[in-house]
Structure 1
Amino acid sequence: MKKTAAILAVLAICSAPAFAANQGGFTGPATTQQSGGFTGPDGSKATVESAKSLRDDAWVTLRGNIVERVSDDTYLFKDATGTINVDINRKRWNGVTVGPQDTVEIQGEVDKDWNSVEIDVKEIRKVAQ
């Protein structure tokens, strides 16, 4: 009986923080209340040149232009430092229409194979210049 009461007391103390009013996310100086997640610089802004040297599956954000469609879901992306193939699945476009003159920001993972590097795009958005 005493063991059961002691176990229940320990569980109640350990689970108390889980029931706190704050529902998650980062709130610090100069941020607004949010429902979750992090707002602020992501630290992953990169160039095409630097993305090519990152490890496989590294998260990256690139800003530049999509200049050419190479195949079904593969496009040629260009910034001031060079070009790289990006794989953009149809569902990732989310109604965004861009041309070679439009600046876009893409977020995705570096996908390295034996002899090639490309970006597997998870999000794309048009950037106002």
Structure 2
Amino acid sequence: MKVSKHFYLQEFLPKREYELFGPRALEIGLISRTAIQMAQFVREYFARPVRINDWHVGGRFQYRGFRPWDCNVGANYSLHRLGLADDLDVLGLEAEEVRQEIIQKPAVFKAAGITTLEANVNWLHIDSRPVNQAEILIVNG
């Protein structure tokens, strides 16, 4: 199911949840429209393909969007568990290069819903937690 110009629902959900809920995953809030919007914005801004989950095409990733509560990947109270975070790769660019561009243009990226980045990882973590500052919040995983 296509959910934006460049993304399908499978890219935001683990296999089990996609098979259980399919399109209803959006209705019941497993993945937020904001998480989709953030990924789409990154895809368009950098004009490069973006990889989130790729299990549906034989890849190894399935917990880079929504993570169910019984998943042992990541922090217990991560925004992934609320459907408000994405881990992604902008293909052809290093994660740090992408992070620095986002940090340099906080108003541009915050307008797309991105408020927070994770530092010191080789992927791009973006989420939309509420923050009371003009800058992008940087957290350590």
Q: TM-score range by the shorter chain?
A: under 0.3
> Which structure would you say has the larger Rg?
1
More helix by share: 2
User: Given the two structures, how large is their TM-score scaled by the length of structure 2?
Assistant: 0.21
User: Given the two structures, how large is their TM-score scaled by the length of structure 1?
Assistant: 0.22
More strand by share: 1
